[in-house]
Amino acid sequence: MNKLSELSFETAYAELETIITQLESGEFPLEESVTLFERGRKLSQYCQSLLDKAELRINQLSEDGSLTPLE
């Protein structure tokens, strides 16, 4: 599994969707399901942080369309 910081939002989200499908199938033993759940939780938090950062950047757009520098 890749480090989260190396993943794009799209890649992380696709992996999260795969994990959800795997967990919903009920085909994995308990220990593997727990490991998948933990990875899914980390991916979910990572995706949310990327969305929060994107929202912040969008909200900082000035009227002329340029970005206001982050402080």
pLDDT tens for the chain, 71 residues long, are 679 999 999 999 999 999 999 999 999 999 999 999 999 999 999 999 999 999 888 777 765 666 666 55
Instruction: Tell me which residue of 42, 40, 49 sits closest to 17, measured CA to CA.
Output: 40
Quick one: 48 exposed, middle or buried, by C-beta within 10 A (0-12, 13-18, 19+)? exposed
Taking the alpha carbons at both ends of the chain, their separation in whole angstroms is: 33
What does the domain layout of the chain look like in residue ranges? 31-59
Say which residue the tokens 């759940």 belong to: 37
Helices (H), the chain: 9-25, 30-59
Instruction: Please tell me the predicted confidence (pLDDT) of residue 56.
Output: 84
